Structure 1
Amino acid sequence: MTRSGERYVVTFTDDFSRYGYVYLMKHKHEMFKQYQNEIQNQLGKTIKMLRSDRSGEYLSLEFDEHLKKCGIISQLTPPGTPQLKGVSERRNRTLLDMVRSMMCRINLPHSFWSFYLETATRIINLAPTKKVDKTPYEIWHGEKPKVCYLRVWRCNTYVTSESMDKLNPCGDKIAADRQSCS
């Protein structure tokens, strides 16, 4: 369980751009509708197909009717065939590997895993892919990503400060867990 009480994660990955979304949940409810609203309202994009692994939340008649009403094709993969969900399976594996790696670097309780997961998702969305010549962020949002705030995990950060004495430091050190980008 996370510090905020979430136990579950659902990921959505655009098949073309490889841009990914991660939602943390306290209970297994339909996150698809929230994702769909965000995509349509914030980005003006439409979802054409949903490929899922026959999870219970995607098999209800109510959910099937919602997809039909919105013109979304439901593509259910056969049981025991993760290779048919290659993009999402690889994404989930990469995210888990990154989270595990970050957790090894910083000695914090496991309940912080959600912060590592959100960071890993952001990094993957900013990194170029082999499939296309742009980053997933650039394809999804139509602009180059700003990466000025990225730092080595757990590195020292300094905030510029004005000093009357020329020999005093020009910056104040911020604790590694309280870093921000100006």
Structure 2
Amino acid sequence: MDVCGPITPVSKGGSHFIFKIINSYSRYHFTTSISNKSNCFEAFRSFKAFVEKQTNFRIKKVVSDNGGEFFEGSFRQYLLKEGIESLLTAPHTPQQNPFVERANQTLMERVRCLLLDSKLSFDWWGEAVSTETYLLNRTPVSSLSFKTPFETIFNYAPKMNHLHPFGCPVYIHVNKASLKSKLHPRAEKGFFLGYSEGHKSFRVFNSVTNKIQITHDCLFNEESQEASTHSEEDSLCPGSTSFAPISNAFSQPSNTDHSSPLIETDPPLDIDNSMPSSSFQTAAEFDHESFDDLQESFSPEDCSTHPSQNPLLTKGLLKGWVLDDVPDKAPKDISSKLDTSNILPEG
């Protein structure tokens, strides 16, 4: 076990440190955010009660450094009372506690990636730590024959179909009892923070109420990562949706993405790059002399009888279009002459 910190800025929950415990057999991670190092004692007692109840195994040894939060005061007295052997590493020798020391670096690197990818502010690191711990326990480990720590300690494989990107926008369903009128939006915008322990639900931040809530009835927009750029104009209100002009279909994509998360625009047309831009001409702009020169540049031998092999016909085709002639003759010639057999006699 080890304490990582202090971490700045202060988390949304007012924490400065991360208290981490790793089971050396299963590589299972237990982490919690604490405000002071003195809170390690209560966190360890909660951890011990949970693990021994869930696994039917008792803790026999703990490895830690010489931090005062571990071997002084009530913590050390509690370990002696419970018969737990405390193994302390030599000063300035983290190599003697390799699992948790290396895990600290791995955890912080992944937490940093979650925050940068989601574009959330750094004070959300407490939620990112909880989510990353959840994911680490469900990640295969090579030293466990590529089994997950979760499967090693609980003897069954975890489910993965409920995983979502950290910080992705969500639309939280509003219960009918909370609706103010029939015109009230049926969903409120927010972003995803993690998974609820003990519930088959998700932890989400509601941007309308500015509160973290636990829900299972929400819609994830995994194609967009705009959690930290939400504004009041982005809320689900009438008239807030903008449409891209039609002329942008053939223009180059800009550096700034102004698309709304509520609209999925069609991809631009796939035009053959070999076709010059000057080929899009109106009838008035068409250069007949250039076309005549093009015709003269081809000999009759170059022009195959099959239209699809004729360079004159295939020169300006859009990508994806092919010419296909129909060699079969119509069953009957079409004529505009009057057919007297179709005229009814008079009387």
TM-score by length of 1: 0.82
Paired with 1:37 and 1:6, the residues of 2 have a C-alpha distance of 23
* Residue 140, structure 1, aligned to residue 153, structure 2: yes
* Residue 149, structure 1, aligned to residue 139, structure 2: no
Q: Residue 8 of structure 1 contacts residue 25 of structure 1 at CA under 8 Å; is this kept in 2?
A: yes
Q: Residue 166 of structure 2 contacts residue 192 of structure 2 at CA under 8 Å; is this kept in 1?
A: no
Tell me, which stretches of 5 or more residues in structure 1 are unaligned?
A: 160-171
Match of 2:20 among 8, 11, 36: 11
* Residue 76, structure 1, aligned to residue 92, structure 2: no
Paired with 1:123 and 1:137, the residues of 2 have a C-alpha distance of 10
Q: Residue 156 of structure 1 contacts residue 173 of structure 1 at CA under 8 Å; is this kept in 2?
A: no
What does the per-residue CA deviation read over 1:27-78, in whole Å, with 9 as the maximum and x for residues that have no partner? 2221222211121233322111100011111111533332222221110001
Q: CA deviation at 1:173?
A: 9.2
**Which is further off, 69-78 or 172-181?**
172-181
Residues 64-103 of structure 1: pairs in structure 2 closer than 5 A: 64-103=76-115
Instruction: Using the aligned pairs only, state the percent identity.
Output: 28
Q: Match of 2:134?
A: 122
Change over 3 Å in CA distance of 1:146–1:175 after alignment to 2: farther
Q: Residue 156 of structure 1 contacts residue 174 of structure 1 at CA under 8 Å; is this kept in 2?
A: no
Paired positions, count: 170
* Residue 50, structure 1, aligned to residue 59, structure 2: no
* Residue 23, structure 1, aligned to residue 32, structure 2: yes
Change over 3 Å in CA distance of 1:25–1:153 after alignment to 2: closer
Q: Residue 24 of structure 1 contacts residue 114 of structure 1 at CA under 8 Å; is this kept in 2?
A: yes
| Higher RCO (Cα < 8 Å, 6 or more apart) | 1
Moved over 6 A (4+): 156-159
TM-score by length of 2: 0.45
Paired with 1:69 and 1:45, the residues of 2 have a C-alpha distance of 18
Tell me, which stretches of 5 or more residues in structure 2 are unaligned?
A: 1-9, 173-185, 194-201, 203-215, 218-347
Q: Computing the radius of gyration over CA atoms, which structure comes out larger, 1 or 2?
A: 2
- Structure that is richer in helix per residue: 1
